Amino acid sequence: MAGALPGVVVLDDWENSLANLVDWSEITPRAEVTIHRQHLEGADLLRALKDARCLVLFRDRTVVDRALLAQLPHLEQIISTGSRNQKLDGDAAKEFGIGVGFTEWGPSKASTCEMAWSLILSCARRLPQLQLQPTQPHWRRPDAFDVLPQVLAGKTLGLVGLGQIGQRMAAVGQAFGMQVVTWSPNMTPERASAHGVEAVALDELLATSHVISLHLVPSAATRHLLNAETIARMGRDAILVNTSRAELVHMPALVDALRSRKIGFAGLDVFEQEPLPADHPLLALDNVLLTPHYGFICREVLATFASGLGKNLATWLAATRN
């Protein structure tokens, strides 16, 4: 409608952070803003976006592919929090004449490292079984000690990937007195040695590491890097932690290994389908610790997202005619 304010739709604000942290006072007089906290798919998603001229994505929580973009003739601009979005078809957006902008990250790598170590320590100490709460008031549950925890000092930490997060992980592991080994498709002994880490073959890392933590960006070569064959090389008391990408792990194979106690424990923060369905087989296991893709979530990162979003929206609105 001529003269109507341009519609801005924000998706997947699960933490209500963009609603609370963006300075909307300069935006709402110039745009009609709708913020969705619940994840939308299918007809609900299309209904929410059908009149949008600007779409705001909270990282890659929603798939925005060519098929969806083709059904959004009014869309002019997409703004994604973070510096990349693996579920946004940028080429299709360009073809349709839709601008794409991003925000800065903030200290997401430090946050993800802390999250990974939170999972490692919780899994190693079996905290999910020991936690006292109204639904679990027992001082010492007998089944909590089917497998006694082991100290990390003297054990081996295997890092699949030694980028900025992997380097932080290595430093913490060394502080715990762990031996740290690493593998990635392009790892060299010199690069590993520069961080006090030993480069080894993937098979050796899986076979010798008490804790295995994933820190790779997926590629065609690393998709389902951990599958039935490679998981079988891990020790029966091994702990697998993934705060990177779900695509690195073949989930049915991992579920089978956990269910049959072929490996000890898994701490997972990323999943191929998010939010995780209520009937997912992982939720029926007692040797997993599952968190809702929370690795990068911290006040500092979300404040950076909010600031960048406000600037992107102001720039777009300044160039937009109603």
Radius of gyration of the chain (CA): 22
Spell out the domain ranges in the chain: 7-106+299-318, 108-290
User: Which DSSP string corresponds to 115-184?
Assistant: HHHHHHHHHHTTHHHH--BTTB--SS-GGGGSS----STTSEEEEE--SHHHHHHHHHHHHTT-EEEEE-
Q: CB–CB of 252/282 below 8 Å? A: no
Among all chains, which residue has been given the structure tokens 């209520």? 278
The rounded percent of the chain whose pLDDT value lies above 90 is 89
Compute the average pLDDT of residues 151-161.
Answer: 98
Known catalytic membership, residue 125: no
Which pLDDT score is estimated for 149?
83
CA distance 114 to 279: 29
Higher pLDDT, 86 or 35: 35
* Average model confidence (pLDDT) across the chain: 95
Tell me which of 36, 61, 245, 250 is the catalytic residue: 245
First to last CA, the chain: 9
Compute the average pLDDT of residues 107-125.
Answer: 97
Structure tokens of 222?
Answer: 């690393």
- 130-134, 170-174, 189-193, 204-208: range with lowest mean pLDDT: 130-134
pLDDT band at residue 4 under the 50/70/90 scheme = confident
Q: Which CATH superfamily is domain 108-290 in?
A: NAD(P)-binding Rossmann-like Domain (3.40.50.720)
Q: Which CATH number applies to 7-106+299-318?
A: 3.40.50.720
Tell me which of 53, 168, 210, 293 is the catalytic residue: 293
CA distance 101 to 283: 36
Known catalytic membership, residue 245: yes
Structure tokens of 228?
Answer: 């039935």
- 122-136, 215-229, 254-268, 270-284: range with lowest mean pLDDT: 122-136
CA distance 74 to 54: 9
Q: Which helix (H) or strand (E) holds 3?
A: none
Tell me which of 274, 280, 299, 321 is the catalytic residue: 274
Which pLDDT score is estimated for 144?
60
Known catalytic membership, residue 190: no
Q: CB–CB of 290/273 below 8 Å? A: no
Compute the average pLDDT of residues 192-221.
Answer: 97
Same fold, 7-106+299-318 and 108-290: yes
For 30-68, what is each residue's pLDDT tens digit?
A: 999 999 999 999 999 999 999 999 999 999 999 999 999
The three-class DSSP label of residue 11 is coil
CA distance 269 to 293: 5
User: Which DSSP string corresponds to 247-309?
Assistant: GGB-HHHHHHHHHTTSS-EEEE---SSSSPPTT-GGGG-SSEEE--S-TT--HHHHHHHHHHH
Strands ordered across the beta sheet of 239-242: 198-199, 179-183, 156-160, 211-214, 239-242, 265-268, 288-290
Nearest to 239 by CA among 217, 267, 275: 267
For 246-281, what is each residue's pLDDT tens digit?
A: 999 999 999 999 999 999 999 999 999 999 999 999
